[in-house]
Amino acid sequence: MGYPLCLMNIIRVIASWVLIASPLLSDVPPAFTQPSSRDQSTSCRENINENTSIYEVKLVSSLENNVTIQTQQPSSLHPFQLIKGSYNWNLLTPAFVKLDRETTSQFIFVFNATDGKQSELSVGLTLDILDENDNTPQFTKSSYTGTIYNTGNAGDYILTIQADDKDLNPNITYSITGGDVGNTFSLDQYTGQLTLKTPGNLDPVTTPTYTLTVQASDGNTFNTTTVTINVVGDTCVSKPCTNGGTCTSAGITFRCLCVSGTTGNTCSQIVATTVSQNETQEQERKTDSLLAVYIVVPILALSGIVIAAIAIYKHKNDNTVDDDNVQNGQATNVLTVDK
Ligand SMILES: [Ca+2]
Ligand SMILES: [Ca+2]
């Protein structure tokens, strides 16, 4: 009889455990499987259509749940949407605005799942917006103007044309699409440097100006600008700089770099005053030096002679006195001994 009673007790314990444990099992909170710590980034191209699914949010839960976007950074754009699918939740692009990488290149989302009793936050999901070539090249100047002398040589540099656009790696190339009469100029397609190609065409009288149309293309779209090239006569041909001055053409005029001692627009003026003053000062310095020699040396010499004469004279007098003293001394001594 004891054995059946023991079995009944075991059954009662198990039944109690099930009754107690069942509510706990139903309270298992929702848990995200995507995004997760190992899968928390995704990407999509810019200009993708509105209301397009770009990511699946996945989670496990013992109860029916609801998932929302907890935060979206930056939040300045129209909000992304989260719509329930058959087995997951779909992250959709904003409803009324297309994504633009040049405006916002990255978003970060955090999702919140709740089953009515408990809630769970996901790890952050990073969405990178991929670039498309959707910006047209823009020139750095509205127009360009350059000058070339009729004495120019092939390869002479004139100016550089530059354009850029906001896309990643724009890969802009340049070309002349009009106005290059006689194939006179050359444009580097990669650097935009414009150089002289055919010098023999340059004539400031018959063709004082070339008006080129230059195109900058990114392979998808392009833009154009106007480049004006003025052809002028070389003002240094007549050698306007004198006295060894170096001439540099400057548009319709010229500049002279004068050598030392000359000045003026054409270096024709000799800077004599300064030289003369310097020479005069130097001459005066030499004269003063010579004058000092002529005056001081004779004085010193004369002084030496006088001193020598005085010394000789004094020496002679001293000898005379000494002789007298010797004679007088001898007399005095004799007189003293006799006493
Ligand atoms: Ca572009
Ligand atoms: Ca772009």
At 86-126, the pLDDT tens digits run: 889 999 999 999 999 999 999 999 999 998 889 999 999 99
Distance 306 CA to ligand 1 centre (A): 106
When the pLDDT of each residue in the chain is averaged and rounded to a whole number, the result is 82
Higher pLDDT, 6 or 265: 265
Average pLDDT over residues 154-178: 97
Nearest ligand atom owner, CA of 136: 1
Distance 55 CA to ligand 1 centre (A): 27
Q: How far apart are CA 27 and CA 25, in angstroms?
A: 5
| Percentage above 70 pLDDT, the chain | 72
Nearest ligand atom owner, CA of 221: 1
pLDDT of residue 288: 56
Nearest ligand atom owner, CA of 101: 2
Architecture of the domain spanning 138-232: Sandwich (2.60)
Domain boundaries, the chain: 26-130, 138-232
Q: How far apart are CA 84 and CA 72, in angstroms?
A: 18
pLDDT of residue 313: 60
Whether residue 137 contacts residue 165, with contact meaning beta carbons closer than 8 Å, is answered with yes
Distance 223 CA to ligand 1 centre (A): 11
pLDDT of residue 66: 92
Model confidence at 190: pLDDT above 90: yes
Lowest mean pLDDT among 150-164, 250-264, 303-317: 303-317
Average pLDDT over residues 267-292: 63
Residue 62: which pLDDT band, with cuts at 50, 70 and 90? Answer: confident
Distance 168 CA to ligand 2 centre (A): 7
Distance 47 CA to ligand 2 centre (A): 9
Distance 132 CA to ligand 2 centre (A): 4
Nearest ligand atom owner, CA of 102: 2
Average pLDDT over residues 152-160: 97
CATH 2.60.120.430, domain 26-130, yes or no: no
Distance 90 CA to ligand 1 centre (A): 31
Model confidence at 146: pLDDT above 90: yes
Residue 145: which pLDDT band, with cuts at 50, 70 and 90? Answer: very high
At 175-184, the pLDDT tens digits run: 999 999 999 9
Distance 170 CA to ligand 2 centre (A): 9
Distance 46 CA to ligand 1 centre (A): 13
pLDDT of residue 303: 64
Higher pLDDT, 91 or 24: 91
Distance 98 CA to ligand 1 centre (A): 17
Distance 132 CA to ligand 1 centre (A): 8
Model confidence at 277: pLDDT above 80: no
Distance 216 CA to ligand 1 centre (A): 10
Distance 213 CA to ligand 1 centre (A): 20
Distance 210 CA to ligand 1 centre (A): 29
Nearest ligand atom owner, CA of 105: 2
pLDDT of residue 284: 59
pLDDT of residue 28: 74
Name the β-bridge partners of 228. 145, 211
Whether residue 176 contacts residue 217, with contact meaning beta carbons closer than 8 Å, is answered with no
